[in-house]
Chains A and B, each alone.
Chain A
């Protein structure tokens, strides 16, 4: 009996250690930062802007808890501080925020393009070591101040700004206009790699540019973030890609160029394309396109320069034929497939030239395919792929298959009045 009591006492004592009494922190003692903006400050310092969740307003929900512009309580609080490093800035926040700042629920980290063009790597790499920071946090590059982007991250349809960020970033799966995997994980891996360069989502505050775009004949994805001709809705635009060499930003890609990049990377899921009608100028054929399989990449390193051959298979479905010509017929489908392939080839040529001549950055990860040609790591390192890539001959071929024709099996012209 005594022994049993002794064992029980020891077990209870052990239980005291289990919750880690020394390290406990109540949930309402933490200030959860949902989005963190990093701008260049004065004198080699950083200007940090934190969007901190106000849980009672998020939980209150309904019409008031939402966010921007309404008369109700806001679901987040925006604070800014200047500090030499990100973590030092978080510590400073504790001086005037009544709760301890926490990165445990940070959904996005936003760097200004000004800072990104200097050297973002030296700020990002150290916080990966921090236990609160998660590698699946999204990275956004703001074309203006990161502070402006964070301040304007005010959801309308969501109560929870974290959910808003997550859903907004997730729309790339259906448009392909900005990179689908712009998490710290993929960015960090690419920044450390000798086989590819990192990319990140390009973002900006937008929403009131309708009147600026009169006469603009850009395609639907031919814009950068902040330039989309639109009015109303959330203030944040996500469109295009920020291209990096290592930890330094070297350029931008438009939405269309990003879509082509994703197709070549094998990360394109689906999107809608407006293909010029091959028979009737001025009219368009709308296709819903899906990435059918991963592209096949063949690399030859035998010549003086690498030769890269890429075949991208795509499935498509007719959404709309403005000219009402019966392109659904087997004989005519090929015309549309060829027209679409030509359209993509034009964009691809522009993209390849940009990446090789202007950015000198392998954002497609061809280096990872090339690495398979080597037997040992020292041989691979000696080849210096990232320096060789700008000289490579890149050939991209699109295999378009229009599989489905929508709910109309044939088209006939609308009667003219």
Chain B
């Protein structure tokens, strides 16, 4: 299947971006934020999301200057094929790191939570098999499935968050500044990469049928706001349920919240409701990430079809996922490296491209003809 022939609507594109960003709530993300921001963890996340909006602006401006073109084509036009290759490898490295660490974490957590005897290779292979199948069906199928599934995932997530309300204590949000205002601000800025997955829109922009009303900024800002709302709400609810000293210990915050739900003898033990939602979100995130990588590879190698690359890419993702010796290392790589430096290829490189684009435009305007 050729990527150029696939078309999705703006709402589906927003769904893809939101799920791609927000699926991390089903991993250790909320507990890591509490470790960082203590009782002000929600502020760290909110700040990171707010900063990501102006950080995304250069990407949006760049993409709208070249309608109908993906980030790869724009890069090749602006910086030439060789430097663009380096840029694309940067994007790929980010996506590969995210995909493999997320795959490893989800697989390990499935084992930890419900089926400890399952070999990790089988867990990861099963998830990747689902991802491979979805990629074979194409972007339209992925986007529509995501749009429909995100409604159910959202409803179940709200159910899990609200049902823990008997355990909420507003006092858990005190002291208001957590480790200190300066630390909170610094952490919020450092964690800009929490929303780096928004870069997906730059990859699939040519496939989005915007009908002239949805430009890149509108798509991106809507996605960031919705995903940010989900991230902040989940962290706040987690903090209301568990005090700081306990919250920072927990491996799977949303799972523990689901397990706590108790409304008498008949409404309890609701985590079976949570696990399919969790698994579905994991599958969608992996699928979207893999499709983004396929799109980049196809663009980089100037191939007409991406299907032949699916299986080799799947093998690469699983192989990289096996590199960390344990789940703690995988979490450390995710949090310490990807979520600290992920902004460089996703927000930083497009800024360079935009700067080149503006410089070239000035040269064209002043010289009256294009310079090389």
Task: Give chain B residues whose Cβ lies under 8 Å from the Cβ of A192.
Answer: 243, 245-246
Assembly CA distance A17 to B130 (angstroms): 11
B115 & A369 in contact (Cβ 8 Å cutoff)? no
Q: Does B83 contact A (CB under 8 A)?
A: no
Summarize A's interface: helix, strand, loop or mixed: helix
Say how far B338's CB is from chain A's closest CB, in angstroms: 26
Q: Does the CB pair B115–A135 fall under 8 Å?
A: no
The answer to whether the Cβ of A185 comes within 8 Å of any Cβ in the partner chain is yes
Contact A17 B175 (CB under 8 A): no
Would B175 and A189 count as touching, CB distance under 8 A?
A: no
Tell yes or no: A375 within 8 A of B by CB. Answer: yes
Residues on B with C-beta less than 8 A from A167 are 265
Q: Which residues of A contact B174 (CB under 8 A)?
A: 368, 371-372, 374
Which residues of chain B come closer than 8 Å to A7, judged between CB atoms?
A: 133, 136
**Could you tell me the distance between the alpha carbons of A166 and B116 in the complex, rounded to whole angstroms?**
29
Check if A13 is an interface residue, CB within 8 A of chain B: yes
Give every chain A residue within 8 A of B125 (Cβ-Cβ): 17
A3-44 to B contact mask, C-beta < 8 Å, 1/0: 000010011011001101111100000000000000000000
B113:A14 contact, CB within 8 angstroms? no
- Chain A nearest CB: distance from B305 CB in Å? 14
Q: Are A17 and B122 in contact (CB under 8 A)?
A: yes
Chain B nearest CB from A384 CB (Å) reads 15
B122 partner residues in chain A, CB cutoff 8 A: 17, 22
**Chain B residues within 8 Å of A170, by CB:** 264
With most chain A CB atoms within 10 A of its CB, the pick from B118, B174, B268 is: B174
Among the listed B114, B129, B176, B179, which residue makes an inter-chain contact with A378, where contact means beta carbons less than 8 Å apart?
B179
Given contact pairs A20-B114, A23-B118, A193-B245, A372 touches B171 in the complex (Cβ within 8 A):
yes
A371, B119: Cβ atoms under 8 Å? Answer: no
Q: Is B262 an interface residue (CB 8 A)?
A: yes
Q: B359 contacts the other chain (Cβ, under 8 Å)?
A: no
Structural contact, B243 and A135, CB atoms closer than 8 A: no
Q: Which residues of B have CB within 8 Å of A17?
A: 122-123, 125-126, 129
Asked if A22 meets B177 with Cβ closer than 8 Å, knowing A10-B129, A14-B126, A189-B246, the reply is no
Contact with A along B259-292 (1 / 0, CB 8 A): 1101011001000000000000000000000000
Contacts of A166-224 to chain B: CB distance below 8 A: 166-167, 170, 185, 188-189, 192-195
Report the separation of the CA atoms of residues A131 and B171 in the bound assembly, to the nearest whole angstrom. 28
Interface range on chain B: under 10, 10 to 19, 20 to 34, or 35 or more?
35 or more
> Are the C-beta atoms of A371 and B171 separated by less than 8 Å?
yes
Residue of B nearest to A369 (CB): B171
A361-374 to B contact mask, C-beta < 8 Å, 1/0: 00001001101101
How distant is the Cα of A20 from the Cα of B122 in the complex, in angstroms?
Answer: 9
Q: A377 and B116: CB pair below 8 A?
A: no
- A403 part of interface (Cβ distance < 8 Å): no
In the complex, how many residues of chain A place their beta carbon closer than 8 angstroms to a beta carbon of chain B?
39
Given contacts A368-B171, A372-B174, contact A134 B259 (CB under 8 A): yes
In this complex, what residue of B is CB-closest to A14? B129
A10-B175 contact given A17-B126, A135-B259, A163-B265, CB 8 Å threshold = no
CB distance from A379 to the nearest CB of B (A): 7
Contact between B130 and A14 (Cβ–Cβ < 8 Å)? yes
A95 within 8 A of B: no
Q: Is A380 on the interface with B (CB-CB < 8 A)?
A: yes
1/0 per residue A218-241: CB within 8 Å of B?
Answer: 000000000000000000000000
* Residue contact B175 to A376, C-beta cutoff 8 Å: yes
Chain B residues with Cβ below 8 Å from A374 are 174-175
Query: Which of B112, B117, B175, B268 has a CB less than 8 Å from the CB of A371?
Result: B175
Q: Find B118's partner among A20, A135, A193, A368 (CB 8 Å cutoff).
A: A20
- Among A20, A163, A376, which residue has its beta carbon within 8 angstroms of that of B180? A376
Q: Chain B's nearest CB lies how many Å from the CB of A133?
A: 10
Give the residue of B116, B117, B246, B265 whose beta carbon is less than 8 angstroms from that of A188: B246
Contact flags A282-315 to B (C-beta < 8 A → 1, else 0) = 0000000000000000000000000000000000
The reply to whether the CB of B242 lies closer than 8 angstroms to some CB of chain A is yes
Whether, in the assembled complex, B64 has its beta carbon less than 8 Å from a beta carbon of chain A, the answer is no
Q: Give 11 new A-B contacts, CB below 8 A, not counting A22-B115, A131-B113.
A: A11-B133, A20-B114, A22-B122, A135-B259, A167-B265, A368-B174, A375-B176, A376-B179, A376-B181, A377-B178, A380-B175
